[in-house]
Amino acid sequence: MNNYKYHQLIFLLLIVLLSGCATTTNYSKRGDVHEFIDRMNTKHHFDREELCTLFSKVKCEPKIIKTMDKPHEGKATPWCAYRAIFLTPEKIKQGVKFWQKHAETLAAVEQQYGVPAEIIVAIIGVETQYGKNKGSYRVIDALTNLAFDYPRRSKYFCGELEEYLLLTREQSLDPLEPVGSYAGAIGQPQFMPSSYRHYGIDFSGSHHADLCNNSADAIASVANYFKAHGWRTGEPIAMRANVYGDDYLKFATKKLKPSFSLEELSECGITPRDKVSPTMLATFMIFETDSAPQYWLGFHNFYVITRYNSSGYYAMAVHQLSQAILRERGEG
C-alpha cells in the first residue's frame, strides 16, 4: 500500500470513529450527566444507581442534533410550500373521519373548555396525522442527546429531561419505552414532557393522562392547553383583509401578539373583510402565494395557537385546516 492510500485509509477511519458515537458514547460515564443525576437525587430523590443504569442504555443519535438545526418545516420554507404539507385533500378527509370517530368526546370537551372541536382536530392532524405518526425516537434518547450535546438549548432540554423522568415515575412507565419526535415531544398532541405534566388531562377516567394511546385524553389535553393560555370562546381567530395605499406596509411586522386596533389599522388602509368590532386588537400579516399576496389579520386566539408553536405559518395552517375540515363536514 503506498503512502497516499495509507493516509487516505487513516483519514476515513477517523471519520468513522468520530461519527460513531451511537455505538461508543456511554452517557453514564460523563461528568455532566453525573451532575444531572446528583441533582435528580437531591431534588427528587431518584436513585443514583438506577439513573446511572438508565443513562448507560441511552443511545447517542447524531441525527437528532442535525434535525434540530434543520427542521423539516424550516423557517425559510415559503408559505405555499408550508401550507401544502398540511392542507391536502387526504388530511382534510382524515380530519373528518377523526371527528366522526370521536364526536361525543369532542362535543363534551368543547362544552367544558370552550375550544372549538375543529381547532382540536386540526392540531392533532398537523402534529401527528391524527395519531398515526407520533415519532420514532425513544424520548429518553432525544432528550438526553439534546440536553448534553446541544449547547445552544442545553438548559431547556435538561429541564425537559427532568420533567420526563418525573412523568415516567408518576405514571409507572419504563423511561426506555416511550417514543416521540426528535425533540422529545410525546403522544398524539406532541406535548413536551413539561406540558404533558402540567396540561395533560385524564378525560377517560383511567387514572392517568395517556396522550399516546387514548384519544379522549389527547383531545381534552389540547383543549386544556389552549384554555390555560387564554383562549377566548366565541372570538375570531384570523380574517382576510383588504389593503390600499402604501401605509399598510409599516404594520407588516413579525410580531405575533395583537397590538394594533382595527380602527388604527383602518386609518392606514387595512380593513377586515368581515364585520368585527373596531376596538379589537390584531396583528397584520402578509402571506405570499403563487399568484398574489394574501393579507390577514390575526386576533388574540390566533396568538394563542402560536403558544403551541411560535410560528405564524403554523397557526395559519391550523386555522385553515380547521376551516377546511368544517367545510368538508358541511358546516363551513
Residue numbers annotated as active site: 127
User: Which residues are paired to 260 by β-bridges?
Assistant: 282
Strands 281-287 and 260-261: antiparallel
Question: What is the distance between the alpha carbons of residues 248 and 27, in angstroms, rounded to a whole number?
Answer: 54
Three-state SS at 301: helix
CB 285 within 8 A of CB 270: no
At position 270, the amino acid (one-letter code) is I
Rounded to whole angstroms, what are the CA distances from 284 to 178, 239, 249, 315?
40, 10, 9, 14
> What residues have CB less than 8 Å from 221, skipping those under 6 apart?
189, 191, 196, 199, 200, 201, 203, 209, 211
At position 112, the amino acid (one-letter code) is Q
Question: What is the distance between the alpha carbons of residues 145 and 152, in angstroms, rounded to a whole number?
Answer: 12
Nine-digit cell at 132? 398515526
> What residues have CB less than 8 Å from 166, skipping those under 6 apart?
44, 193, 197
Question: What is the distance between the alpha carbons of residues 146 and 143, in angstroms, rounded to a whole number?
Answer: 5
Residue 86 backbone dihedrals phi, psi, to 5 degrees: -105, -25
